[in-house]
């Protein structure tokens, strides 16, 4: 009932020449694959408009990596959700650990941004995840629970809400949690969402795993209950790798 979502986060990578990869993804995104998995690519904001043009007719959706909570105004350098939508984005990643670290984003800020994205009719992908120290201290569940309670808007429509579990220590390191740990965390996230949104709504929310997802490990991770897709960093920059992961879904 939850269609898998394979989302690529290009982070601060990509110039116009890299848009060839989106064309390549489009060619490999066959009707059979389209029926089985949704595909989303989130390039840097500078490429959203051109990426959306490159994705026309392919079925690939284009997203952004952050936005401001306000709809317009005196916020030099920032981008409103409506601007990203206007450029061709239908989803926005929010509260990625790199933004929580680099820009000291708080749960309350992430929630305000998510509310702005949802109000624009777009999909909000809210990222949560513990650090290595927090996991080793046995606090992973508590940390992720607190992030969810602080970051997910109360009235979020389940169909346009996506949660990405990305353990900070698994991002870009080649390390991943054990499959049991991923399954347990995803089940726990759905329980928390049930308390926040109601049990039925929580069943419709897609929960993605992110952190060193590669073609070699995607199959076993995506086969886990409550794992409804992946948020892929490095391996989303190349069409061949990204489409291998999509096929694993
Ligand atoms: P990697 O896939 O490069 O580990 O990055 C994961 C990530 O942060 C996606 O948002």
The 10s digit of each residue's pLDDT in 128-140 is 999 999 999 999 9
CATH superfamily of 5-248: Aldolase class I (3.20.20.70)
Q: Where are the domains of the chain?
A: 5-248
| Annotated catalytic residue 166 | yes
Give me 56's structure tokens: 């026309």
Query: Nearest to residue 97, comparing CAs of 221, 224, 210?
Result: 210
Query: Nearest to residue 67, comparing CAs of 7, 11, 112?
Result: 112
- Cβ(210) to ligand 1 under 6 A? yes
Give me 11's structure tokens: 């982070």
Give 95's Cβ-side CA count (13 Å radius): 31
CA 24 to chain centre: 21
pLDDT tier, 1 (very low <50, low <70, confident <90, very high otherwise): confident
CA 142 to chain centre: 21
The 10s digit of each residue's pLDDT in 82-136 is 999 999 999 999 999 999 999 999 999 999 999 999 999 999 999 999 999 999 9
| Annotated catalytic residue 96 | yes
- Cβ(211) to ligand 1 under 6 A? yes
73 CA distance to ligand 1 middle (Å): 32
| Angle between helical axes of 140-151 and 107-119 (0-180°, round to 10) | 50
Among residues 21, 96, 98, 109, the one annotated as catalytic is 96
């Amino acid at each position: 009932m939850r269609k898998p979502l394979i989302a690529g986060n290009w982070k601060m990578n990509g110039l116009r020449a890299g848009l060839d990869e989106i064309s390549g993804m489009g060619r490999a995104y066959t009707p059979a694959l389209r029926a089985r998995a949704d595909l989303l690519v989130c390039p840097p904001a500078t490429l959203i408009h051109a990426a959306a043009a490159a994705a026309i007719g392919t079925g690939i959706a284009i997203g952004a990596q952050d936005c401001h909570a306000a709809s317009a105004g005196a916020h030099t350098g920032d981008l409103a959700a409506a601007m990203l939508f206007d450029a061709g984005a239908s989803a926005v990643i929010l509260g990625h650990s790199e933004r929580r670290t680099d820009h000291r984003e708080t749960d309350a800020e992430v929630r305000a941004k998510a509310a702005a994205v949802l109000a624009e009719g777009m999909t909000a992908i809210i990222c949560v995840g513990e650090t290595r120290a927090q996991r080793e201290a046995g606090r992973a569940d508590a940390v992720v629970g607190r992030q969810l309670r602080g970051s997910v808007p109360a009235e979020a429509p389940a169909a346009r809400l996506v949660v990405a579990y990305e353990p900070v220590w698994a991002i870009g390191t080649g390390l991943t949690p054990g499959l049991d740990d991923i399954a347990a965390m995803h089940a726990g996230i759905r329980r928390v969402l049930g308390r926040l949104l109601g049990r039925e709504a929580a069943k419709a929310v897609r929960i993605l795993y992110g952190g060193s997802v590669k073609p070699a490990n995607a199959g076993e991770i995506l086969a886990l209950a409550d794992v409804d897709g992946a948020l892929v960093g490095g391996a989303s920059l190349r069409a061949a790798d990204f489409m291998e992961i999509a096929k694993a879904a």
